[in-house]
Amino acid sequence: MALIELTDIKKRYKTGDTVTEVLKGISLEINEGEFIAIIGPSGSGKSTLMHILGLLDVPSDGTYLLEGKRMDDRSDRQLAEERRTGIGFVFQSFNLLARLNVLQNVMLPMTYAGVPSRKRKARALELLQTVGIGDHANYRPNQISGGQSQRVAIARALANRPRLILADEPTGNLDTASSDAIVDQLQTLHRAGNTIVIVTHNPEIADHTDRIIELRDGRIIHDGAPKAEAPKPATAALPAPTKQRRVL
Amino acid sequence: MIFENISMALRSIAGNKLRTFLTMLGIIIGVGAVVAINSLGQGLKQVVTQEVSNLGADVLVITSGKTGISSSSSGSKAGGGGGGGGGGFASSLGTSTLTEQDITTVQNDSHVSVVAPLSLISGIVERGTTQDPSALIMATSPDFLKADPSEKLGSGRFLTAADNDSYVAVIGSDTSNTLFGSGTNAIGKTVTLRGHSFTVVGVLASSQASQGGSSFGATSSLDDIALIPTNTAKTLTGSTLQIYRILAQAKSKDDVQPAVNDLTNEIKANHGGQDDFSVLTQQDILNTFNTIFDALTGAISAIAGISLLVGGIGIMNIMLVSVTERTREIGLRKALGATSGMVLSQFLIEAVVLTVIGGMLGVAFAYGLGHAVGHFAKLTPVFTVGTIATATIISAVIGIVFGIAPAIKASRMKPIDALRYE
């Protein structure tokens, strides 16, 4: 069974009398352990698709199955609960809370999930070590660089061991060196078994993934391995996903 | 979760100190004013209660005129009259309605042990060229000190039966100080009243500020007075005396109410059925004071409470601003899995933390204000645990009432709209 199964997903927005259909029937499957890039020009619907995948928005039509369970008919409250443990978000603008320090930012999703305080702290420290900024736990977000901020955001996304990590232009606000480091980081997570979907308009970033889904005008126009990729055994690169995923 | 919300709220308060303080100011002033007024009111009540209690529970005071605070049994309806001022307004303007016959009536009552009439004599107390124009001259009987246990003799002796027609006087401590200078023993010296020389035989003890209660009411004491024998006073004025009031001591506490009932009926009969006098007990006076003070404190508190309303609106305003400013934060929290209820409780708790801290600062402000005012008004404000608890609860309620709308606004934000907000 696929981790995520979208069937004929449509999304319409109403502005006054005009109805704009942003997604015109998207069907795709995402399997556990995949590393996917969703690309497309602005206005192609990739952000909307990401919001729907991330349970931040509901489709107007079509079905969404997450681990076989319908998600398109859930209440706001149920969606919040699914997001809490099911999805880890990484945003372009990091979205760290300025009043909390790095450690507390990473602990936040666990707070909502009701993880006891001591466990939260231990896991947050461990995650910060994993992304390589364990020594910055007590810094404020405004005291660290953009690259470091995005690492904190990645650590936060991993906090509740989500089934899917959604990264929306994760390198959009970073210089090349930091970008590469973040992409490396995401690849490392992927190799450890995490399912990752990156939304980007940057083909170079997309080329680091195993599968590219290209959108245009609300439809998928291409779905497959990166074209310029040197022959690479796509499946063999995934070392026993389900078990190792729990390491993080 | 609640703990996280509180620490989150405290962080947000600490991050915006000036704004938070200005927002809280309404609550601080509102709670401060209400608490200060109540504590001063309590302080005043305590002083009055203390003073009236000094009268003793078994003292009856019969005054001319209807005071409206007389014993329930007399079924009064006319208003007016302070606790010891004596008499309704109209009757207090004319001559006293109490007569010599009334004194006899009181003396003959089986529930009464000691009776002392007090009559007001016009005139000025002098010693040579030194005058004490504020001193009252009163005629009374030797039983006065027994009838009014709140008064004590300082030195010398009180009037006796043997003094009946003598020109002797007992003076108050202030009068003694004014005429003879403080520290000088006035016993044996003479004062002049209406052209006649009186030998001072005794000086009353100075009443302490806190226990200056007397048969004259709560605030006046007998510190500035000259007391002379009744018969001497009659000779001096050449007419019947204006009986200011009659003090009577019931035989026991259980005799108080029967005495009130008897005297009310008997004096009414003396006066041809006219209800133109009052028989007061300590409890009547206390009850009246309490009623007046409670009403007054309540009314002023209600006015001060309006500033709490204004303070609450200030809280609501700043919380609405805060929710808008933190739209992205709300979006992020929702994306991380916070439900609407969690966001709602976060902002509601923040508002409550804001008002409760404001309320506590308000109590501290009231403590300072109360003691400052108390210092000048010679009152000790009373702060009870109950007052502080009530202030805190009211503050929390204000936080809930005025914080709920901003919190609902925050909770209803859609995560994507909130995340997109710039």
Map B94-119 to HEC letters. CCCCCCHHHHHHHHHCCCEEEEEEEE
Asked whether the predicted pLDDT for residue B381 surpasses 60, the reply is: yes
Q: What's the confidence (pLDDT) of residue B47?
A: 83
Tell me the C-alpha distance between B158 and B171, whole Å.
Answer: 10
Q: Where are the alpha helices (DSSP H) in B94-198?
A: 100-108, 144-147, 173-180
Asked whether the predicted pLDDT for residue A170 surpasses 90, the reply is: yes
Tell me the C-alpha distance between A31 and A194, whole Å.
Answer: 11
Asked whether the predicted pLDDT for residue B215 surpasses 70, the reply is: no
Asked whether the predicted pLDDT for residue B209 surpasses 60, the reply is: no
Q: How confident is the model at residue B221 (pLDDT cuts 50, 70, 90)?
A: low
Q: What's the confidence (pLDDT) of residue A122?
A: 95
Q: Identify all chain B residues contacting A85, using CB atoms and an 8 Å cutoff.
A: 337
Q: What's the confidence (pLDDT) of residue A226?
A: 83
Average pLDDT over residues B318-326: 93
pTM of this structure: 0.72
Q: What is the mean pLDDT of chain B?
A: 83
Q: What's the confidence (pLDDT) of residue B87?
A: 39
Looking at per-residue confidence, does A212 or B55 come out higher? A212
Interchain pair B15, A84: CB under 8 A: no
Average pLDDT over residues B77-97: 47
Interchain pair A112, B342: CB under 8 A: yes
Q: Identify all chain A residues contacting B422, using CB atoms and an 8 Å cutoff.
A: none
Q: What's the confidence (pLDDT) of residue B77?
A: 36
Asked whether the predicted pLDDT for residue A225 surpasses 70, the reply is: yes
Average pLDDT over residues A212-223: 94
Asked whether the beta carbons of B286 and B84 are under 8 A apart, the reply is: no
Give A175 to chain B, closest Cα distance, Å.
22
CA angle A36, A39, A44 (to 5 degrees): 135
Helix H or strand E encompassing A215: strand A211-216
Interchain pair A112, B329: CB under 8 A: no
Q: How confident is the model at residue B86 (pLDDT cuts 50, 70, 90)?
A: very low
Q: Identify all chain B residues contacting A76, using CB atoms and an 8 Å cutoff.
A: 339-340
Asked whether the predicted pLDDT for residue B216 surpasses 70, the reply is: no
Interchain pair A81, B1: CB under 8 A: no
Q: Which candidate from B329, B337, B419 shows the least CB-CB separation from A81?
A: B337
CA angle A9, A11, A16 (to 5 degrees): 165
Average pLDDT over residues B396-422: 92
Q: What's the confidence (pLDDT) of residue B98?
A: 85
Asked whether the predicted pLDDT for residue A137 surpasses 90, the reply is: yes
Q: What's the confidence (pLDDT) of residue A238?
A: 46
A52: nearest CA partner in chain B: B416
Q: What's the confidence (pLDDT) of residue B223?
A: 81
CA torsion through residues B46, B50, B56, B59, sign: negative
Average pLDDT over residues A128-140: 93
Burial of A63 (0-12, 13-18, 19+ CB in 10 A): middle
Among A10-19, B285-294, B314-323, B365-374, the range scoring the smallest mean pLDDT is B285-294
Q: What's the confidence (pLDDT) of residue B67?
A: 65
Asked whether the predicted pLDDT for residue B73 surpasses 70, the reply is: no
Average pLDDT over residues B109-131: 87
Asked whether the predicted pLDDT for residue A184 surpasses 80, the reply is: yes
Tell me the C-alpha distance between B184 and A196, whole Å.
Answer: 102
Q: How confident is the model at residue B60 (pLDDT cuts 50, 70, 90)?
A: confident
A205 CB-near residues (< 8 Å, 6+ apart) = A37, A171, A179, A183, A198
Q: Where are the alpha helices (DSSP H) in chain A?
A: 46-53, 76-86, 102-112, 117-130, 146-158, 176-191, 203-206, 241-244
Average pLDDT over residues A96-111: 93
Average pLDDT over residues B107-127: 87
CB contact residues (below 8 A), chain A span 58-117, against chain B:
76-77, 80-81, 83-85, 89, 91, 95, 97, 99-100, 108-109, 111-114
Average pLDDT over residues B235-263: 84
Asked whether the predicted pLDDT for residue A57 surpasses 70, the reply is: yes
In total, the C-beta contacts within 8 angstroms joining chain A to chain B are 58
Interchain pair B419, A54: CB under 8 A: no
Asked whether the beta carbons of A53 and A130 are under 8 A apart, the reply is: no
Interchain pair B416, A57: CB under 8 A: yes
Average pLDDT over residues B39-50: 84
Q: What's the confidence (pLDDT) of residue B405?
A: 96
Identify which of B24-28, B46-50, B206-210 has the greatest average pLDDT: B24-28
Q: Which candidate from A99, A100, A108 shows the least CB-CB separation from B336?
A: A108
Looking at per-residue confidence, does B273 or B86 come out higher? B273
Interchain pair A108, B333: CB under 8 A: yes
